[in-house]
Amino acid sequence: MDILAHALWTHAVHRGVIAKKKIETTRRAFWVAIFFGIAPDLFSFGLFFVSRLYQAIFHNEQFFRFSPPDGSAIPAYVFNSYNYTHSFLIFLASFALIWVIHKKPYWLMFGWGFHILIDIFSHSTSFFPTPFLFPISNFRVNGWSWGHPTFMIVNYSLILVTYLILYATKKKFRASN
C-alpha cells in the first residue's frame, strides 16, 4: 500500500481504538503512531526515493511512473531492508524487547505491525511481496496489488468512509457528554 494510505489507516485506527482505550491520546502520540505506520516503507525505500529524486532533478531523469520500476534498477539494500522492516516476526521481537525494557507495552508501535498486516494482502508476488515470516520462512501471500486502480479506489473510499464514521461518532460522543 502507498505510504499516504498507511499513514491515514494508522491514524484512523489510533484515533478509533487506541484513543478510546485512553492510551496516549496526545498530539505527539498520534504523530508517533503515524511514524511507526509508515516506518517500514520509509526505512526500506526512503534513501532510494531520495536518490531517484536527486537523479530526476540534477540529471534530468524521469521520476514519476505509473508502473512499477524495473526490479533490476532497485538496489539490493532496498530488498534487504524491506525484508527486515516488513517482517512480523521482527516487529514482534522488537515490541517484546521494548516491553521488557520499559516494563509495559508501547502501544504506539502498533502501526508497524498494522502496516505489515495490510501489506501481506495488498502486495502481489510479482512486486515486493511481504516477507512477514522473515527470517524463518520465505513464504509470501499473493495479494491484490495496491497499485491496481480498482484497489486504490476501494482503499481510499474505505478511508473516506472510516473518517466520516470517526467524525460522526466523535460528534455524537461530544453531544452526549
**pLDDT score for 26:** 80
**pLDDT score for 63:** 60
* Cα separation, 58 vs 43, whole angstroms: 24
**Does the structure show a pLDDT above 70 at 172?**
no
* Cα separation, 163 vs 22, whole angstroms: 19
Contact criterion met (CB below 8 Å) for 55 and 61: yes
What's at 48, amino acid-wise?
F
Share of the chain above pLDDT 70, in %: 88
Mean pLDDT for the stretch of residues 150-163? 97
The mean pLDDT of the chain is 89
SS (HEC) of the chain: CCHHHHHHHHHHHHHHHHHHHCCCCCHHHHHHHHHHHHHHHHHHHHHHHHHHHHHHHHCCCCCCCCCCCCHHHCCHHHHHHHHHHCCHHHHHHHHHHHHHHHCCCCHHHHHHHHHHHHHHHHCCCCCCCCCCCCCCCCCCCCCCCCCCHHHHHHHHHHHHHHHHHHHHHHHHHHHHC
| Reported confidence tier of residue 177, pLDDT bands at 50, 70, 90 | very low
Express each pLDDT in 83-137 by its tens digit: 999 999 999 999 999 999 999 999 999 999 999 999 999 999 998 999 999 999 9
**Does the structure show a pLDDT above 60 at 173?**
no
* Cα separation, 154 vs 151, whole angstroms: 5
**Does the structure show a pLDDT above 80 at 46?**
yes
**pLDDT score for 18:** 67
Q: What is the pTM of this model?
A: 0.88
The Cβ of residue 114 has, within 10 Å, a number of other Cβ atoms equal to 19
